[in-house]
Amino acid sequence: MSSRRSTSPITVFAPCVILLAFTLPVGTAFAAERRVLANSTPSFVTQAQNLGPEDGSKLITVTLWLHQHNEAALDELARQMYTEGSPHYHHFLTYEQYRANFAPTAQEAAAVSEFLKSHNLSVTEVDKDNHYVSAQGRIADVQTAFNVAINRFQFQGKTYRSNTADAAIEGPTRTLVKAVTGLNNLTFEPHHRAPIDPETRKPYPPVPLASAGSNGLFFAGNCFRNPQTVKFTSGGGFPDSRLHGESLWHQSRNTASESGAVRIRCR
Any idea what the CATH number is for the domain that residue 165 is in?
Answer: 3.30.70
The count of structural domains within the chain is: 2
pLDDT tens figures, 246-265: 333 333 333 333 334 444 44
Quick one: pLDDT band at residue 207, thresholds 50, 70, 90?
Answer: low
Quick one: pLDDT band at residue 233, thresholds 50, 70, 90?
Answer: very low
Residue 258 covered by a domain:
yes
Q: Is this model's pTM higher than 0.75 or not? A: no
> Under a CB-based contact definition with an 8 Å cutoff, are residues 119 and 144 in contact?
yes
Residue 196 covered by a domain:
no
pLDDT the model gives residue 216 = 40
Same domain, 51 and 170: yes
Residues 69-89 as b/e (b if ≥16 CB within 10 A, e otherwise) read: eeeeeeeebeeebeeeeeeee
Same domain, 219 and 129: no
Same domain, 53 and 133: yes
Mean per-residue pLDDT of the chain: 75
β-pairing, 150-155 vs 49-53, is antiparallel
Same domain, 177 and 237: no
Q: Answer with the one of 181, 198, 230 that is the final residue of a domain.
A: 181
Domain range enclosing 252: 209-266
The CB density around residue 17, as the number of other CB atoms within 10 Å, is 9
Question: If residue 13 lies in a helix (H) or strand (E), which one and from where to where?
Answer: helix 9-32
Least confident range of 2-6, 124-128, 230-234:
230-234
Residue 61 covered by a domain:
yes
CA torsion through residues 231, 237, 241, 247, sign: positive
The CB density around residue 10, as the number of other CB atoms within 10 Å, is 8
Quick one: pLDDT band at residue 213, thresholds 50, 70, 90?
Answer: very low
Same domain, 170 and 50: yes
Query: In this structure, what DSSP letter does residue 23 have?
Result: H
The whole-number average pLDDT for the span 214-221 is 40
Give dist(CA 73, CA 185) in Å, integer. 34
